[in-house]
Structures are given as C-alpha cells and as structure tokens.
Amino acid sequence: MLGGMIKPPTFGKSNQRTNKDGFRAGVYLGFLAWTLMAWPAAVAGAESEVLPPAPAGKEWVVVWQDEFEGNVLNEEKWNRLGDWKRRDGYWVKEDAYLNGKGQLVLRTRKDGERYTCGAVNTKGKFERAFGYYVARCKLPRQPGHWPAFWLMGDGVGKVGDEGRDGTEIDIIEVPWRDGRLTVNLHWDGYGKDHKSAGHKFQIPEVMEGWHSFGLLWTEAEYMFYVDGREVWRSSAGGVCRAPLFLKLTEEIGTWAGKIEEAALPDYFEVDYVRVYEAR
Ligand SMILES: [Ca+2]
C-alpha cells in the first residue's frame, strides 16, 4: 500500500527516537494520521515524552541527551566502566555497547568462571544540578543482577551539611522481577554517618516493554516518575545543590537473587537519556 506512494514527511527523527520499538506500526498508523490530519498536528504529536508541569512561566528545554543512534557509544558523552571487580561480578567495557537500533545495551553474562556486566557514567563529561532527568528503558528478566539509572558525585562522600553537598539519587533500581521498583537517596558517605531515604512500590507492567523513569530535581525537593506518573517525592537530606553525573549500570549481587540461577546473557536496554531545564 505504501510502496507506490510518497513517504509521509512527518516521521522525522523525533518520532523514531521516542517510539522506536513501535516504529513500524507507528509508520502505518502515522501514515493514516498524516492522511487525515493537518501537518502541524502530526508534528506536535511526534514528541511523546510525558513531562511534569514546568514552573509557571517556563518551559522544558533539552540541555543534554543521548538517543544512542549509530553503532558506537559516544565516548565524548559517556565513560564505559571496567574492567574491574564490582560487587559479586565484574564491570567490563565490552558489556556496554550500542545495538545499532538506537539503544544502549548493558549486558550481563557469564565469561568463564566470572560474571560480567556493563556500566556507563558521564563523570567529567556531563555534570549538573536540578532539572528533569529521564531514561526510557527495557528491563532485564533474569535474577542475580540489577539495572539502575542514577545520579552520583564526589560530594556524596562529604560528611556534614546533610545531602546538600552531594546526594546519590537513584532514579530507579530494579533488583526484583515482579514489578517491584525502588527509588533512593544516599548522603554523608557510606560509612557510619551514611543516611538514606527511599521508597518501594510495585507496577507489574514495567516488566514488559519500554518504560520511562524520571526525576524532577528542584531546589525544594525531588520528585520521581514512572511513565510520567509521580511515584514518590522527598526533600530528605535537604536537597542536593551540587552537580551530579549520570550513571546507567548493571550490578551483580544477591540483592537481586542468585546469579547462578540466571539464564544468561540478559540485557538492560536504554532507548534514550534526556535532561531538561526549565527556561
Ligand atoms: Ca554531606
């Protein structure tokens, strides 16, 4: 049906980026929409990210993003972590790669006698305070390892001033496979002065398909979102004022069950990461 016709012009990169898994269906449905709707309406519908309300008089502007297009991870944006021991496994660089379909893959696998997985961060390359941070992800299915999207900085180790001088912000951590999720804050180091706050909740449907995990970080509080719906808010620790870098990681450990029982390899996929500022 489409073959002899002019390709609809509205399916620009932003539509592919926000809906890549449904792109084929999207092309067809979008084509129908295009034939029925005016051009501006179709363009407006191309941005499918659900953002929290911007502060009065302001709007969200993307200030940093990676859509993971191409075949090679952009190492001007990201550091690939490894090769070194991490918890009950190893972080190795070759387990963090792009799949050529627009996604970052963090793989967990068994390599000889050791278990390995992938991790990346933006330390020294992108560090920021405040704004809206969101990643669209497809979660792994096997036990013994956990995916996470989090923010981190050197100030997290500074004891005193609560979390204002640095807080680890875990936008999402998924050590379970039944739809339970957890969001957490950690500050004043990881020793005897360590403090934390967090929340556990369950959304069974997150185990299937793609879902977005977001953090709105203001000077007053942190607000956490799954698929654009608020799941928790907190001002614990007094709210971090220090710039933090992004982390996307897999970790191997018993918090997530027994890695020996996992059918490997297993994959944590990330379609994009976007950071917005209210202007
Ligand atoms: Ca502190």
Beta strands, E only, 118-206: 119-121, 127-128, 131-138, 145-152, 167-173, 180-187, 195-202
State phi, psi for 72 to the nearest 5 degrees: -130, 130
Dist. CA 18–CA 12, nearest whole Å: 11
Based on the fold, state whether residues 81 and 32 are members of the same structural domain.
no
| Residue range of the domain that includes 18 | 1-48
pTM of the model: 0.84
Report the amino acid identity of residue 4: G
- What are the distances in angstroms from CA 75 to CA 78, 126, 226, 227? 5, 11, 28, 28
- Tell me what pLDDT residue 44 has: 35
Mean pLDDT over each residue of the chain, to the nearest integer: 88
**Paired tokens of 33:** 């929409």
- Residue 157: per-residue pLDDT: 98
Of all residues in the chain, what percent are helix, strand and coil, respectively (each to 5)?
20, 40, 40
53 lies in some domain = no
Residue 218 falls inside a structural domain: yes
Same structural domain, 18 and 146: no
Q: How far is the centre of ligand 1, averaged over its atoms, from the C-alpha of 156 (Å)?
A: 6
Number of domains present in the structure of the chain: 2
How many whole angstroms separate alpha carbon 146 and alpha carbon 111?
A: 18
Return the CATH number at 141: 2.60.120.200
Handedness of CA 265, 251, 146, 225 (dihedral sign): negative
- Would you state the pLDDT for residue 36? 44
Tokens of 143: 């036990």
Would you state the pLDDT for residue 49?
A: 80
Q: Is 29 helix (H, G, I), strand (E, B) or coil?
A: helix
Query: Under DSSP, is residue 13 helix (H, G, I), strand (E, B) or coil?
Result: helix
- The stretches in the chain having pLDDT less than 50 are 1-19, 21-24, 26-28, 30-47
* 27 and 90 assigned to the same domain: no
Give 186 Cα–ligand 1 centroid separation in angstroms: 9
Cα 236 to ligand 1 centroid, rounded to whole Å: 12
Q: Fill in the DSSP letter of residue 51.
A: P
Residue 82 Cα to ligand 1 middle (Å): 27
pLDDT at 48: 65
